[in-house]
């Protein structure tokens, strides 16, 4: 997939989302918000690109990120295309001055100049170490259920039982 094709997919996904938002509540908006929650570390463009290519995607990471987690992408797997930022050092004395003032944070001395096509892989495409999961709550809340409902009712969230 070329950069232009990826950009076109992002633009069409944004247009579809805007149209859906204009009509009010819908399953598509709910699905999009669930996707954003799963991929909160990715840009909006990439959050839109991932489910277009793999609607049931849950955990995605780059090839090297999977290796750091003790997992390895299976040979022959096709990645999910995303747009990766290309950062370059700033030119001129100003960049050197910024780098001297911020020795540990080099990001301020860099500038975004372009995007390149990159690939991430779904957890189902990688094998190896088991991923850590959040603890699952089990059991009967018993007498605490009314207290839990009252607490949630005081929060800005919707409780559906």
Q: What is the pLDDT of residue 154?
A: 83
Q: What is the pLDDT of residue 93?
A: 46
Q: What is the pLDDT of residue 99?
A: 44
What does the buried/exposed string (b/e) look like for 130-157 if buried means 16 or more CB atoms within 10 Å of the residue's CB?
eeeeeeeeeeeeeeeeeeeeeeeeeeee
Least confident range from 26-30, 75-79, 122-126, 143-147: namely: 26-30
Q: What is the pLDDT of residue 69?
A: 87
Give the confidence band of 102 by pLDDT, cuts at 50, 70, 90. Answer: very low
Give the confidence band of 18 by pLDDT, cuts at 50, 70, 90. Answer: confident
Tell me how far apart the alpha carbons of residues 74 and 126 are, in angstroms, rounded to a whole number. 6
pLDDT digits (tens, 9 = 90+) for 50-99: 888 998 888 899 999 899 889 999 999 999 999 999 988 877 544 444 44
Tell me how far apart the alpha carbons of residues 26 and 95 are, in angstroms, rounded to a whole number. 47
Quick one: what percent of the chain has pLDDT higher than 70? 70
């Amino acid at each position: 997939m070329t950069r232009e094709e990826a950009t076109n997919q992002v633009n069409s996904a944004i247009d579809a989302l805007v149209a859906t938002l204009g009509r009010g509540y819908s399953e598509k908006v709910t699905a999009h918000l669930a996707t954003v929650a799963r991929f909160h570390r990715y840009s909006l463009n990439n959050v839109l690109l991932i489910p277009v290519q793999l609607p049931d995607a849950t955990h995605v990471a780059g090839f090297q990120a999977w290796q750091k987690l003790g997992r390895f992408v299976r040979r022959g797997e096709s990645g999910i295309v995303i747009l990766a930022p290309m950062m370059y050092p700033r030119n001129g004395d100003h960049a050197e001055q910024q780098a001297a003032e911020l020795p540990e944070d080099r990001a301020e001395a860099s500038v975004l100049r372009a995007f390149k096509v990159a690939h991430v892989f779904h957890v189902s495409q990688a094998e190896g170490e088991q991923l850590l999961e959040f603890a699952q709550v089990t059991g009967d809340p018993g007498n605490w259920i009314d207290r839990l409902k009252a607490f949630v009712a005081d929060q800005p969230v919707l409780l559906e039982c």
